[in-house]
Amino acid sequence: MRTPFDGPLVTEAWILDRAPGDLVLVDVRWEPDGDVQEAFERGHLPDAVLMDVDEDLAAPPGEGPGRHPLPSPEAFARTMTRAGIGADTAVVAYDPERGSLAARLWWMLDVLGHPVSLLDGGMTAWSGSLETGPGREPTPRFFTSRAWPPDRIVDARAVRAAVSQGSSVLVDARSGERYRGETEPIYDVAGHIPGARNLPWADVHDPTSGRFLGSDALRERFRVVGVSDGRQMIAQCGSGVTACTDLLALRVAGMADARLYVGSWSDWIADPERPVVTGEDPGSPS
């Protein structure tokens, strides 16, 4: 499939250099109160289309593991078609949260081999004016339904086996406070999966600019948590959304692709028999 991208990240200048119609800009949102439309209408990049993490990039809870199961391939294809994303349509995703939400769409399209990149730094990196209001109505383009590749996804059983055998490093992208179990704003159980290492998604960005760190700095971040070229990573978070930021960072670092535990913490704690660890220590996988 043809792609205009040199890597997983683009800049504002790159977007402005494209002719109208060369790509689809997707504004990815999640709001605690669920009103993503109102947030989008307050300001978005010109000509962007809106996608809601809950409605567009996940199946309803119960239709798969965790709080944000992957949508069926057919449902995802319908969403892309409505957004005007066809077989060869280049996509640039962004959000107001340094890519922590938009990375979910980046990962979903990337594992299907679709041309996609992410606006580095998100809305904070955009110096031009923003549009307000409901946005444009995209012209539908047919997107072919394709199965999610099984070699890029793991479930709880596979996570437990891989970590116990030492064949993979489980990396938890949640904040340090949530990883250690000091706070848990969403779920009834706090802590982390035994053996998981913590690399918060916010730590793969430059704290001043909000852009992703360079490849050397990212490789060092991953080295500290035990990820190297010879050891595959499994990424997880609370529900399989912000973990995709660590997966994108791995690509920026030039390292081998990893797998996503889609259900993540929300799936792990659904079975009360699964062990939980609190504190700084990763704990011993069993």
Catalytic residues: 237
Residue pair 201/246 in contact by the 8 Å Cβ criterion: yes
Task: Report the DSSP pairing between strands 232-236 and 259-261.
Answer: parallel
264: Cβ contacts below 8 Å, ≥ 6 apart: 66, 236, 237, 238, 239, 240, 243
Q: What letters, b where the CB count within 10 A reaches 16 and e where it falls short, cover 37-74? A: eebbeeebbeebbbbbbbebbbeeeeebbbbbbbbeee
From CA 263, how far away is CA 240, in angstroms rounded? 6
* Residue closest to 247 by CA, chosen among 68, 102, 79, 87: 102
The CA radius of gyration of the chain, in Å to the nearest whole number, is 18
| Three-state SS sequence of 226-263 | CCECCEEEEEECCCCCCHHHHHHHHHHCCCCCCEEECC
State how far the alpha carbon of 222 is from the alpha carbons of 204, 216, 246, 250, in Å. 9, 10, 9, 8
From CA 155, how far away is CA 170, in angstroms rounded? 12
Give the amino acid at 245. Answer: T
